[in-house]
Amino acid sequence: MFDQNSSFGSQSPLSRQQPLRDNGVNGAAAAAYLGGSALSINTDMNLEQILLELDRLIRTSGITTCALLPPNHDICLRMRQIPLIISQSMTPMQTMLTFVEKVVYMLYKSNTNFAFEAYTGFLQSLFELSSEVEKETLSWIVYANDERKFNAPVMAMMIRHEMIPLEEYDIQLAKAIRKSGEEKVVQYAVDLLGMCLLSPSPITFMEDHALTLAALHEIQDPPSSVSVLMTELKRIVESPYKSIEKNAMDCMEMRMLLAEWARLCQYPVPNQRIFRQLAKKALQLTKDTEGQSFFFRLCTETCIDHFLSFKSLSSSFQKRAIHLIDSYAKLVAYMVRTESRDGETGKVAVGSRALSVMILLLSQHHETRGMNFNQKAFMRILSSLYAELSKIRNLVVHAGLLEAYSDALYMLQPNNFPGFAFSWLQLISHRTFMPQLLAGNDRQTGWMICEKLMLALLKFLGPLLDRNILEKSTRLFYRGTLRFLVVLLHDFPEFLCEHYMVFVQVIPHSCIQLRNLVLSAFPRVMHLPDPFTPDLNMDRIPEFKQEPLLVKSYIRELNTDFKSAIDKFVQDRNEAFHGLAQQQLITERPDTMGAFVLYIGSKTASSDESIEKLPAIIAYKRLLKVLPPEGCYALLNAIADQLRYPNSHTHFFSQAVLHLFATQPEEMKEQVTRVLLERLIVNRPHPWGLLATFIGLIKSPGFWDHEFIRCAPDIERLFDNVSRYIKRTA
């Protein structure tokens, strides 16, 4: 062991550091300097006495672990006293370095687990006071060619306290094994790996010792301890997969390949040739599709286990776990690039296979862990995989992988995996994911995928917002959805313009701001007229003669017989239709009501007949007479959903609202006003057609004379404020 007076840092600049205070030539300064030297000697003596007392307390305390050490124990008091004494030294850096040498000596001289833990924790606290001393000490532990440092319990304890740079230490230990091959070094490595990997609570993973394991594996005639270690590690790796047919594949070899790949990814300037060689080796190792799926499963589970094993996000262990996930994602991408079987289809199949394995593992974790399910690990691996796959330049392969990734996200939608909801929202709102779908070469496929994902999002959110009390998580998810829609509204308004109907069908009526966001979209090439313009005449605006582009998938909500009846009614206006319509819509389903209102309205919007004779208006009036109040409210809301940017539909439905208000009884006038007003009193944005229609409504003769405007002081103040606002902006 060490000589107590040995100095492993004697050649360090710190050892020769001058006193930190002024040592000028005048007499007072000289006296102070001489006095300071005496003070430093006294400080060193005091520190040595306290350290000896600390060692005695540790040996005689009878405590087995630092967790049982009370904060006011003499050991803790001595440890807190030492930094104060060091700070009073005339040469604190030199004093610190000398004292740390003695602490290291005490650490390596110890022979109990409590002593290892106490001295290691104390040493760690001293390192926090001086990064230079930490660097000097660790450089000896990692790089020095000194057999005295080969103490497995000490090193294991320092690794547990995250004091050792594991990657660099793995390199140096592997070099020592290959260079000397001495039994002492080999046995030290075996003991250290056993303590780190085979203990009941492992403190590292095999990937952290990849080079050391490789060096031990290369020994020609290994000692029995090496064989026992390798056999035990192989048993641990293969134990979760005993029931799986692996076709003679070596799990240990797969783990070592992943470890080698992760280590290679740490270099700042990667070697592409080596990357391709390792990816090719992985493809050869897996042999067939089943073997490839098993390889992806083993690697994914390894990454997830690494991530979930450590709680501290700031720890070096957690950083290495994240690096392993990112490295695995890069490995999958290189396997896609390297795959040569079946051309481009084979490349896409490799990526799809990796995604399928991730979905299955996420499903298993989500089901088995329940409330303890951790979504962060899967979010990281999916986002990293997307980032790596997006770098593939082959257009056909890239398009296939993007579609496969989108399908994976659709399968992972929150309705299927509520515990993954926040991560799922973050994945679909990635800054490059939606743009690749919406602005890609295959617009039809990309927009269809986006519609599916948006519907999955809104179908999950809708029932949550219908509850009387919104939980904090629901409010956060709703806020995230709003922000996502704002981005779509700004960057891709045409997408919302064409798909608005399928979205508003699944948005609850209580989510007015969310509904307004979708309905406020208008084509980027259009310049909206000012809705507050006095005497605004929609008939003079050319855009009101143009029919809007929209997807027809909303019609699926109408069954075939009902749709045929609507078409027949538009042609011959038969009275029998009203009974069928009442029967179909009495269920008050918003999606069916919305589809009916838009479908029959679009059939008659371009007609030159007077508005009261149009089939849609006739049907609306009849339904307002026979439907219950809830049904009438749903019908009026469905009409208000069509008040968007200037187009033929907005023109027709705006005229329909004004006509219904003018011809319906007082109760229905109040309903019409309520539907429009409740959409305007929320935060912006507000659809252009909604604003223009409401302004036309309040400017209609006799509007301010209705009783419902003066029914309550709050309502009266609300209308007065709206009136003043409109007059001020007009």
Mean pLDDT of the chain: 84
Indicate the range of 18-27, 118-127, 423-432, 674-683 predicted with least confidence.
18-27
Q: Mean per-residue pLDDT for 247-251?
A: 79
Q: What is the mean pLDDT of residues 234-249?
A: 82
Residue 728: what pLDDT? 57
Residue identified by tokens 């390798």 is 230
Asked if 20 and 93 touch (Cβ cutoff 8 Å), the reply is yes
Q: Is the pLDDT of residue 458 over 60?
A: yes
Residues 206, 163 share a domain? yes
Based on the number of CB atoms within 10 Å of its own CB, is 726 exposed (0-12), middle (13-18) or buried (19 or more)? Answer: middle
| 424 residue type, one letter | W
Residue 356 within a domain: yes
Tell me, yes or no, whether 14 lies in a domain.
Answer: no
User: Distance (Å, rounded) from C-alpha 717 to C-alpha 339?
Assistant: 70
Residues 616 and 683 occupy one common structural domain: yes
598 and 684 part of one domain: yes
The residue-averaged pLDDT of 457-478 equals 89
Q: Are residues 214 and 339 in the same domain?
A: no
Q: Are residues 81 and 169 in the same domain?
A: yes
Identify the residue whose tokens are 């035990």: 232
**Domain CATH number, residue 586:** 1.25.40.800
* Predicted TM-score of the model (pTM): 0.84
How many domains does the structure of the chain reveal?
4
In a domain, 2, yes or no: no
Instruction: Give yes or no: residues 696 and 554 share one domain.
Output: yes
Alpha carbon distance 382, 512 (integer Å): 33
Same domain, 230 and 266: no
Whether residue 7 is contained in a domain is answered as: no
Structure tokens at 632: 């009438």
Tell whether 209 and 306 lie within a shared domain.
Answer: no
Conformational region of residue 698, where left means phi above 0, alpha means psi within -120 to 50, and beta covers everything else: alpha
Which among 691, 687, 624 is positioned nearest to 659, based on CA atoms?
A: 624
Confidence of residue 19 (pLDDT cuts 50, 70, 90): very low
Contacts (Cβ under 8 Å, ≥6 apart) of 254: 285, 295, 298, 299
- Compute CA 721 distance to the chain's CA centroid, rounded to the nearest angstrom: 43
Cβ pair 141, 149 in contact under 8 A: yes
Whole-number percent of the chain with pLDDT over 70: 90
DSSP 484-510: HHHHHHHH-HHHHHHHHHHHHTTS-TT
Task: Confirm if 469 and 500 have CB atoms less than 8 A apart.
Answer: no
- Per-residue exposure over 481-501, b if at least 16 CB sit within 10 Å of its own CB, e if not: beebbeebbeebbebbbbbbb
Give the tokens for residue 96: 């610190």
Q: Which of 281, 289, 276, 304 is nearest to 363 (CA)?
A: 304
- Domain span at 697: 538-729
Cα separation, 459 vs 451, in Å, equals: 12
Q: Quick one: pLDDT at residue 364? A: 94
DSSP state of 530: P
Instruction: Report which secondary-structure segment, H or E, holds 251.
Output: helix 251-264
Q: How confident is the model at residue 640 (pLDDT cuts 50, 70, 90)?
A: very high
Please check whether residues 304 and 166 belong to one and the same domain: no
- Whether residues 564 and 695 share a domain: the answer is yes
- Specify the amino acid at residue 203: I
Q: b vs e for 91-113, b when ≥16 Cβ sit within 10 Å of the residue's Cβ?
A: bbbbbbbbbbbbbbbbbbebeee
Least confident of 63-67, 267-271, 287-291: 267-271
Tokens of 329: 């994602």
Listed residues 494, 525, 556: the one ending a domain: 525
Asked if residue 518 has pLDDT above 60, the reply is: yes
Q: If we measure between CA atoms, which residue out of 373, 369, 364, 250 comes closest to residue 301?
A: 364
User: 685 Cβ partners below 8 Å, 6+ apart?
Assistant: 489, 516, 517, 520
- What is the Cα–Cα distance from 287 to 283, expressed in whole angstroms? 7
The neighbour count for residue 470, using CB atoms within 10 Å, is 14
Q: How does residue 180 score in pLDDT terms, banded at 50, 70 and 90?
A: confident
8 A C-beta contact, residue 604 and residue 570: yes
Read off the tokens for 434: 């939606």
Question: Which tens digits make up the pLDDT trace of 345-396?
Answer: 999 999 999 999 999 999 999 999 989 999 999 999 999 999 999 999 888 9
Q: CA-to-CA distance for 134 and 124, rounded, in angstroms?
A: 9
If you average pLDDT over residues 56-72, what whole number do you get?
84
Flag whether 17 is in a domain: no
In a domain, 100, yes or no: yes
What pLDDT is attached to residue 630?
Answer: 87
pLDDT tens figures, 195-222: 999 988 888 888 889 999 999 988 888 8
In a domain, 11, yes or no: no
Residue 635: which of 601, 590, 584 has the closest Cα? 590
- Read off the pLDDT band of 173 (50, 70, 90): very high
**Greatest Cα-to-Cα distance within the chain, rounded to the nearest angstrom:** 119
Domain harbouring 297, CATH code: 1.25.40.790
- 725 confidence band (pLDDT: 50, 70, 90): low
CA distances for 346 relative to 291, 396, 397, 401, 562, angstroms? 15, 12, 9, 11, 46
* Least-confidence region, from 6-15, 573-582, 685-694: 6-15
Q: State the Cα–Cα distance between residues 282 and 296, nearest whole angstrom.
A: 10
pLDDT at residue 650 above 70?
yes
With beta carbons less than 8 A apart as the criterion, state whether 2 and 109 touch: yes
> Does residue 530 belong to any structural domain of this protein?
no
The mean pLDDT value for 540-560 works out to 83
Determine contact, residues 678/512, Cβ cutoff 8 Å: yes
Where are the extended beta strands (E) located within 123-229?
none
Boundary-marking domain end, from 491, 525, 559: 525
Query: Is the confidence at residue 22, as pLDDT, over 60?
Result: no
Residues 183 and 54 in one domain: yes
Asked if pLDDT for residue 455 goes beyond 80, the answer is yes
- CA dist 436 and 427 (Å) reads 13
pLDDT of residue 33: 33
Count of residues in the chain: 730
**What is the percent of the chain where pLDDT is above 90?**
37
Phi and psi of 61, rounded to 5°?
-70, -30
Verify that 271 and 403 share a domain, yes or no: yes
Average pLDDT, stretch 462-490?
90
Could you give the count of Cα atoms lying within 13 Å of 361 in the half-sphere of its Cβ? Answer: 25
**Which band of pLDDT confidence, cut at 50, 70 and 90, is reported for residue 639?**
very high
- CA-to-CA distance for 506 and 475, rounded, in angstroms? 18
CA distances from 641 to 294, 502, 549, 654 (A): 50, 11, 15, 11
Structure confidence at residue 308 as a pLDDT band (50, 70, 90): confident
